[in-house]
Structure 1
Amino acid sequence: MPVRRFDPQALLLARRECGRKQAEVGELVGVSGARVSAWEKGRSVPDPEKLPGLAMAVFRDLDELFPRDGRPDLADLRADAGYTQAATKELTGTKTAGPVAAAETAKHRLEGRYVEALAANYGVSVEALLRAQERSFGIDVPEPGEAPAPVQQGGEGLPETLAEKIAYLVEQLPAPLSDAELAELGNARTGTETLTTELVRDLRTGAVSSAGDDVLDALAKALNTSPLIWSQDADVQRVIAETLLLKHQIVALAARGGEQQGLSAELLRFVFDVVDEARAETQGGEGAVPR
């Protein structure tokens, strides 16, 4: 997580320049003057969600006073909005902060019904929140207008090892499946007896680090994806990562509901038209993608 850089001296100088006492700043951010003194002396560091209030208290821009290197993830957006993780249960209308905690730690992505509420309270667009969520899952999605991050060996945005990819894909399933269920599903969809519970478990845990094309094909079908997901080609991995991001964005749009705000036929046509155009350019115009 690209945390903001906290500089005790910068805070001290900003407070003195604006003429406020430590007790006054502390009152504004909900701590004691002694705590502010400790921050200014470098004896402790404020929690990330305190930084926006601190910057405001000394009349400074957050990015100027506490700059951050890199693009924000979900935890960064929450902290920049001044919320603790525990406080997000009020934003999502849930009994615990579980949904947000799981997304911030790359365990489960946010359900569509939480996305808009969090985006509104964090003061960002739904698209910005979804980009931040992908970063929480290790996919460094650029902001609009930014150049994509350099391609790294082993693929960009997706886990590198076979076991990590399986774990990642299992996480994307609508409901969790056991190793036995994955084996049964993959065999049914390929019409073979390629997968066993033990083989799926060994591949998922890394006990076995490679497999033949027939096994990988069955496993991909069980996980609702393409065998291309196992490719080591960096460009292929980048395209897959960006396509998965597009999927999550479309799901979030559909979750909004309503003809004007929800997923429209026009948007789907646009997506298909772009894919058709790309295919025509690379294959000499030989047919469109089936719909």
Structure 2
Amino acid sequence: MPARRFDRARVRAVRRAAEISQSEVASALGAADSTVAGWELGSSAPDQEKLSALAAVLKKPLDDLFPRDGLPDLTDLRCDAGLYRYEMAAVIGTKSAGPVAGAENGVRRLKDRYLPDLAEAYGVSADEVRRAQERSMAKARGEEVEGDAPTDVATEEPPRSLAEKITFLLEGSYPAGARPTDMEIAEAVNAHAGSGVTTAEKIETLRTGAGDAGAPAPIVLEGLAHFFGVTRLYFEPDDAVARQVYEGLHLLSAAKSGKIGRVRARGLGVEGLPPDVLSLLNELATDFQKKTEPGADR
């Protein structure tokens, strides 16, 4: 989205009114006196990353001194925080700034585990980082983003990993200051299971996607589903859900043709279809059978 506008005449007027010398500005920004002079003469312009510091030196709000039309994308948030792209590796704890560069260029979205660190570095919420990311994606596609929907449903991909799904529920179901802690979630899961099946540290690992905790036990997923008020299927991998839906439809088809009576979860691994899904399929199968019996209303 649009970068902030630098008006050399306004900067010069504000600086003079505040009785601040070019040399003082240069010293505060770590620049040469000639560089600041060049900005005011119009022979050059400061990097976008310098504008927040320049506004602070001139004792003016950033939005007032360097206005921007529209809402910020990821690059804008970084620049407003006075950070250069090469510095982002240290912020998110990676060997390079590649993940941030890819998201800013609209190539690929950031992993959820990077969002808290970026939000802290940028001085905004994780949700604001997410929305800015969608603007970067739209910009790469040559699209215009109107308004500021909380989750930018039109462009955001649905959560896929377990960490993304937990984060989506937390950010979408609770106000920023009222979200449950990892300890509260762990206690709720343990209460549902009737034993200590997880800890706050393990919940944090599942929520952030950091480390290698492995696949959580089924009872943990059941506890999470109960806590958030969603179906257990929500936490299953997409391919597993698709497989179960396919099996369900296949069984319904068999029931409709009279090949089976009650539905059984065969061939679905040790867990099979969840009991509530089986119950629903059996009800539907019974209904199909009634409708296909001789004399039934068609």
User: Smaller-chain TM-score range?
Assistant: 0.5 to 0.7
Counterpart amino acid of residue 8 in structure 1:
R
Map of 1:16 onto structure 2: 16
Q: CA deviation at 1:57?
A: 0.5
- Bigger Rg over Cα: 2
1:16-74 per-residue CA deviation (whole Å, 9 max, x = no partner) reads 11111101101111111111110011111111000000000000110000000011000
Query: Does the alignment pair 1:73 with 2:78?
Result: no
Q: Equivalent residues in 2 for 1:74-223 (5 A)?
A: 74-138=74-138, 140=145, 142-143=147-148
Structure-2 change in CA distance of 1:95 and 1:247 (3 Å): closer
* Structure 1 residue 266, shift from structure 2 partner: 7.5
Q: Is contact 2:81-2:122 (8 Å) kept?
A: yes
In 2, Cα distance between equivalents of 1:255 and 1:31: 46
Query: Structure 1 residue 113: deviation in Å?
Result: 1.4
Contact 1:134 1:141 in 2 (8 A): no
Whole-angstrom CA distance in 1 between matches of 2:65 and 2:166: 33
Going from structure 1 to structure 2, the CA distance change for 1:39 and 1:259 (only over 3 Å counts) comes to same
Between 62-71 and 130-139, the greater mean CA deviation after superposition: 130-139
* Match in the other structure for 1:61: 61
* 3-state secondary structure, aligned to 2:167: helix
Moved segments of 4+, more than 2 Å: 139-145, 239-242, 244-252, 254-271
Taking the aligned partners of 1:123 and 1:251, their CA distance within structure 2 comes to 24
1:3/1:76 contact within 8 Å kept: yes
Q: Give distance in 2, aligned partners of 1:36 and 1:266.
A: 60
TM-score, structure 1 normalization: 0.55
Query: Between Structure 1 and Structure 2, how many residues are aligned?
Result: 182
Is the partner of 1:44 in helix, strand or coil? coil
Distance 2:95 2:39 in 1: 33
Name which of 182, 195, 209 aligns with 1:258.
182
Deviations 1:214-255 (A, max 9, x none): xxxxxxxxxxxxxxxxxxxxxxxxx6536x377799547269
Q: Verify the 8 A CA contact 2:106 2:136 in the aligned structure 1.
A: yes
Unaligned runs of 5+ in 1: 149-156, 158-238, 272-289
**1:64-117 C-alpha deviation (Å, 9 max, x unpaired):** 000000110000000000000001111011111111111100112111111110
User: How far apart are the structure 2 equivalents of 1:252 and 1:81?
Assistant: 28
> Are the counterparts in 2 of residues 113 and 255 from structure 1 also a CA contact under 8 Å?
no
CA distance in 1, matches of 2:167, 2:126: 8
Displacement of 1:258 in angstroms is 2.2
From the superposition, tell whether residues 259 and 245 of structure 1 become closer, same or farther in structure 2 (CA, over 3 Å).
farther
From the superposition, tell whether residues 268 and 52 of structure 1 become closer, same or farther in structure 2 (CA, over 3 Å).
same
- Percent sequence identity is 39
Q: 1:50 corresponds to which residue?
A: 50
Amino acid at match of 1:241: T
What root-mean-square deviation, in Å, do the aligned CA atoms of Structure 1 and Structure 2 show? Answer: 3.4
Q: 1:141 to 1:47 in 2, by over 3 A?
A: same
